[in-house]
Amino acid sequence: MKCSICLLLVSLSILVLCNCGKQAHDTYVWPPPTPSEEHAKVLFIGVDAADWDNIDPMIQQGRIPNIAALKRDSAWGTQKSVSDNSPAIWTSIATGFLPQQHGIEAFTAENPDYDPNDSDSKRFLSVSSTMRKKKALWNILSEQGRTVGIVGWFATWPAEAVRGYMISSYASLDVNQGGEQLTGKGTFYADRPDLVYPPELGLGDSNTLRLLMEKGKNTALATTERVFAGYPEREGAKAWQINETKWAFAADDIFFQIGKRLLQEYPTDFFAIYLAGLDVIGHRFAGSLEDDEVLRRYYERVDEMIGELISVVPKDTVVVLASDHGTALPGPTHDYEGGIFLYRGRCVESGYCAMQSDSLDFLPTLLYLMGVPVPTQLPKKPMEMLFHDQWRRDNPTRFVEMTLDRKASAPPTGDSYRDEIFKRLSDLGYIGSDGQSKKLE
């Protein structure tokens, strides 16, 4: 069901926003205003394929101290996936709607502008933000006056206009790596426009961005050595999986380096980052004791990144940790009722939440937490039981009628690497030869 250095930007001048971004850009001010003290601030960390079955033994072994500290002081539980495809699940988390309602149902989607009479028209395309039919959390928060920072979230290319910034995720091949790099989960590329909003986003100068990316790549190479140290088939049958998995590590670490710097320089009311590496390992290395240890070693790297992100946000920030599904060991199989959720903050009722949520519960709960009225059209209501009784009495849920529909369209410009991307994803079993995504167990 899944797959996920990139060169960020050589110059900010290569960035070109899509038309909708240009229009909305006039609405928002850069840099974003200082986060308000009147409502909760949130750090949302999405970790694809994380589950308690793997986390809890590692907590007991002392291998993931940052996640251990989070869980000790949090409300936590499991959540059921609404799909068996990552783009669909993460878009449901962001919109509060089922995949058939928001329009992102798999790794590929039918081209809204498909013309069967045009030989150059492609029926199926890699999913993009323009294909989404519902507003996402970042759209709603922006409209309600909250600032947002979104880094690496699945299926966010092209970047959308928000009250803050978006570092979108693009799935493609990097010709600068000789065509060998495949990051089906998405990453950053120098030759791809529409990756960043706003276009004037910068961290000093373009050289600073390059240095951050180089740092991410170097850390990822060190992580690869650490994760696969002593692996018996490193130079054998699984050499190609290891080679491609390093790009997933790189995508995670580059988004992490950029995200951490943005958090420090441009704090926002809501900040979210997505990390895909655990799921990529789960697809390619599961079933043997050596494979399982590879997975656990990468959990250690994820734990380090989580700790560093938490270290740069104010202490009163509510931290949310979430996954889309679990990974059953031995595998490779996914546990679609084993995803995790965790909320930690002063307003949170610490202790196990004795119920199972699903992917649709995040959006209304996060809006409620941040003091934003919850749209009545959403299928779910906030999980108020996660929060202290007094806090709930002081902050009753407010509901509002709100337009959540968006018009879907094909992404801007074609992708010269599309055929090769589809072939590689088909070889890995993620999509069929016709370009449609497969159901994976």
Q: What DSSP letter does each residue of 43-88 carry, written as one string?
A: EEEEETT--HHHHHHHHHTTS-HHHHHHHHTSEEEEEE-S-SSHHH
Asked if residue 74 belongs to a domain, the reply is: yes
Asked if residue 369 belongs to a domain, the reply is: yes
Asked if residue 57 belongs to a domain, the reply is: yes
Q: 192 falls in which pLDDT band (50, 70, 90)?
A: low
Quote the CA–CA distance of 395 and 375 in Å, as a whole number: 16
Give the three-state DSSP class for 319.
strand
- Angular region, 6: left φ>0, alpha ψ -120 to 50, beta rest: left
The pLDDT score that the predictor gives to residue 195 is: 81
The pLDDT score that the predictor gives to residue 21 is: 35
Domain of 56, in residue numbers: 12-427
Asked if residue 2 belongs to a domain, the reply is: no
Asked if residue 290 belongs to a domain, the reply is: yes
Higher pLDDT, 69 or 240: 69
Strand partners, 315: none
Reported as a single tens digit per residue, the pLDDT across 136-184 is 999 999 999 999 999 999 989 889 999 999 998 865 434 344 444 455 5
CB of 253 closer than 8 Å to CB of 220: yes
Percent of the chain with pLDDT over 90: 51
CATH code assigned at 265 = 3.40.720.10
Judge whether residue 428 has pLDDT over 60. Answer: no
The pLDDT score that the predictor gives to residue 149 is: 97
Task: Return the closest-CA partner of residue 12 out of 197, 259, 211, 201.
Answer: 201
Strand partners, 10: none
Q: 188 falls in which pLDDT band (50, 70, 90)?
A: low
Q: What is the mean pLDDT of the chain?
A: 82
Judge whether residue 22 has pLDDT over 70. Answer: no
Reported as a single tens digit per residue, the pLDDT across 262-285 is 999 999 999 999 999 999 888 888
Asked if residue 52 belongs to a domain, the reply is: yes
| Burial of residue 234, with CB atoms counted within 10 A of its CB: 0-12 exposed, 13-18 middle, 19 or more buried | exposed
Q: 438 falls in which pLDDT band (50, 70, 90)?
A: low
The domain total for the chain is 1
Asked if residue 439 belongs to a domain, the reply is: no
Judge whether residue 51 has pLDDT over 90. Answer: yes
- pTM summary value: 0.86
Asked if residue 1 belongs to a domain, the reply is: no
